[in-house]
Structure 1
């Protein structure tokens, strides 16, 4: 019987391997335990403890907490601000600990730690084969903010570019790096544009007060969302949504919100922009000439949010001391389809 079973199995295997191209079974390469899922960066307690990263499978059935420590037997540090990717690498930016952990994005095994040349790092992007990371510098000094440039082969900071106050969100295309200056603990309203061939700031644009997020549309335009100054500053200002024509780096469109409207968390999918405001999520077609007046999803408020593959992902930081939640909504039906417990202060949502 054992011989018969082996012969049957071999025949089945031969049949699969010799089938027509239309019937060919294509096996996806397994690169690691954290492939094909969602990564949540959890900031962790503000002045003590460590931030973490949570992994969630795409079907939401598998949740693994503190995956960096599980793979490397060490903590990330305080505070886990953001994650960026370049090919097989993930760059985990840890703000208060002034460092970046470089890991394989699929196995989460440590590859390097970047510390020298960083001071309160915030966000990371890759352009022209180099890493660019925003730094607040000494938060008591409003003149020492900069963007650090990293050699991705040696994981060493090559140089720094002095910038306007409070460099925060950062993104790039083939030619330029775009830096939104939210103002750190102060206030700013600019986007700096770095020419990656010279690593010099070539242009500075005035957008709106407190620019908080940037996204690309299918035509290669860059959209910048600014929340405006909140009422507690003593001089409340309106939020704005602006479009930058990246062929000449000029402002192509400026859309103003009402003075009391303060949008955040700009996301994009299929040329539709989404943002959160006033306990709701709004959608905006990139070809529209006016801001939306009706919400897409109501009665929601997130610590951070993004969209991906027809779903809205939003986090709840709760009391900022206990574990938060990830909420997943279907953008078509507008229904909540899943709630998943994650780490303390879940601040970033990424897709692996």
Structure 2
């Protein structure tokens, strides 16, 4: 009996010692992050570190700053985005010019990529041996942007593909990747098509494409349009591309001063943000702007399995939040605190 009591006491001490004192929330348990929601928090721009928040699948546990909790080190500034390939999470740390690699289920550090990249933005794993990273290079130089090809067997950059300025988000279809060129500090209007190590061509879309999604053999591209401060304001647009031939099928144009963002999809519906509202569109019958279903100025959107996940960055200096809405009623059902500037929502399954 005494041995059992001693064992329990030691076990309790271990879990207390592993708790995240700074955030006062859940303890770190190995492989505790395999089912749930991950939120990348950019952190303060130019100083400090970004981090990652984990929310368990049943919503019972919220753990802040899981990479630091597990590894004892910060990720760096700014945590721009994250991508998965097999068991690994590739965490893009923009200002620090590196990709930190961790086991996606335990968040134990695995490796890092610090050479062959310059101002990285987004990562996508293409298959078990190859991944892609979009890079701005010098954001004031429109001629040095590229997509880095990563050998995932040793986590090194094997080649770089020069592309037009401002490459950002990536989607894949039929062994090709499609890169949206938002334009860096400016505005662009292209989608690059890459196969293997080769730039196959580009597709011209609306100004400032900011988000994409694939449904069937259609690629939907949401373009924000040039903002008013450029002195050359243009309307936002939604562009549908036929991926069988990479031709533009339809272009739907918003009002002259409307600048939509954060396209996501669930089933046959598209969702996006515009002017403090989330709108819903049916892919089979698109009429802009669609139906407004939720009010709020949100920083990121993801729709999945009848739920809408949104982040609120608040004042971009304090902790933000992740809110969840039931799309059958359009009512909020959950609200969780995150880190500073929650910019990405990911699902660990």
Fold in common (TM above 0.5) = yes
| Corresponding residue to 1:285 among 270, 273, 282 | 282
SS in 1 for 2:257: coil
**What residue is the counterpart of 1:67 in the other structure?**
66
In 1, the alpha carbon distance for the partners of 2:234 and 2:265 equals 25
In 2, the alpha carbon distance for the partners of 1:82 and 1:237 equals 27
SS in 2 for 1:319: coil
In 2, the alpha carbon distance for the partners of 1:205 and 1:326 equals 34
Cα deviation code 1:33-88 (max 9, x no counterpart): 00110000000010110000000012222000010011111110000000111121
Distance 1:201 1:123, change over 3 A: same
**What residue is the counterpart of 2:342 in the other structure?**
346
Question: Does 2:148 match 1:148?
Answer: yes
In 2, the alpha carbon distance for the partners of 1:61 and 1:127 equals 33
TM-score, normalised to structure 2's length? 0.89
**What residue is the counterpart of 1:36 in the other structure?**
35
Question: Which protein shows a greater Rg?
Answer: 1
In 2, the alpha carbon distance for the partners of 1:246 and 1:317 equals 34
In 1, the alpha carbon distance for the partners of 2:167 and 2:304 equals 26
**What residue is the counterpart of 2:17 in the other structure?**
none
Give how far 1:173 is off.
2.0
| Corresponding residue to 1:222 among 194, 219, 224 | 219
SS in 2 for 1:225: strand
Give how far 1:289 is off.
4.2
Question: Does 2:129 match 1:133?
Answer: no
**What residue is the counterpart of 1:294 in the other structure?**
291
Distance 1:293 1:246, change over 3 A: closer
Question: Does 2:319 match 1:323?
Answer: yes
Gaps of 5+ in 1: 1-29
Contact 1:126-1:172 at 8 Å conserved across structures? no
When the two chains are superposed, the root-mean-square deviation of aligned CA atoms in Å is 1.4
In 2, the alpha carbon distance for the partners of 1:249 and 1:140 equals 30
Contact 1:215-1:223 at 8 Å conserved across structures? yes
Give how far 1:126 is off.
1.8
In 2, the alpha carbon distance for the partners of 1:241 and 1:72 equals 42
Contact 1:127-1:174 at 8 Å conserved across structures? no
| Corresponding residue to 1:201 among 199, 202, 213 | 199
Cα deviation code 1:176-195 (max 9, x no counterpart): 11010011001101111112
Give how far 1:224 is off.
0.5
| Corresponding residue to 1:210 among 203, 208, 211 | 208
**What residue is the counterpart of 1:187 in the other structure?**
187
Count of residue pairs brought into register by the alignment: 319
In 2, the alpha carbon distance for the partners of 1:148 and 1:236 equals 32
In 2, the alpha carbon distance for the partners of 1:247 and 1:140 equals 35
Give how far 1:300 is off.
1.4
**What residue is the counterpart of 1:12 in the other structure?**
none
SS in 1 for 2:292: coil
Give how far 1:202 is off.
1.1
**What residue is the counterpart of 1:11 in the other structure?**
none
SS in 2 for 1:46: coil
Question: Does 2:261 match 1:275?
Answer: no
Contact 1:327-1:340 at 8 Å conserved across structures? yes
SS in 2 for 1:139: coil
Contact 1:89-1:102 at 8 Å conserved across structures? yes
Contact 2:87-2:105 at 8 Å conserved across structures? yes
